[in-house]
Amino acid sequence: MIGGKARVFVPVFDGMIHDVKWSSLADYFIVISGTQPAVATLYDKFSNPKFEFGKRYRNTIRIDPFSNAAIIGGFGNLKGEIDIWNLDRHTEFGLAKSYCAVSIEWAPNGTHFMTAVLYERVKVDNEIKVFLANG
Q: What are the domain boundaries of the chain?
A: 13-132
108 vs 56: CA distance, rounded Å? 27
Cβ neighbourhood burial of 91 (10 Å; 0-12, 13-18, 19+): exposed
pLDDT tens track for 97-113: 998 888 899 999 999 99
**May I ask the CATH architecture of the domain 13-132?**
7 Propeller (2.130)
Q: What is the mean pLDDT of residues 116-133?
A: 87
Q: What is the pLDDT of residue 1?
A: 46
Total residues found in the chain within this entry: 135
Q: What is the pLDDT of residues 43-59, one digit of tens each?
A: 999 999 999 999 999 99
| AA identity, residue 105 | E
Find, among 16, 25, 38, 37, the residue nearest to 87 by Cα: 25
The residues with which 30 forms a beta bridge, in sequence order, are 21, 42
Amino acid (one-letter) located at 43: Y
* 123 pLDDT above the threshold of 90: no
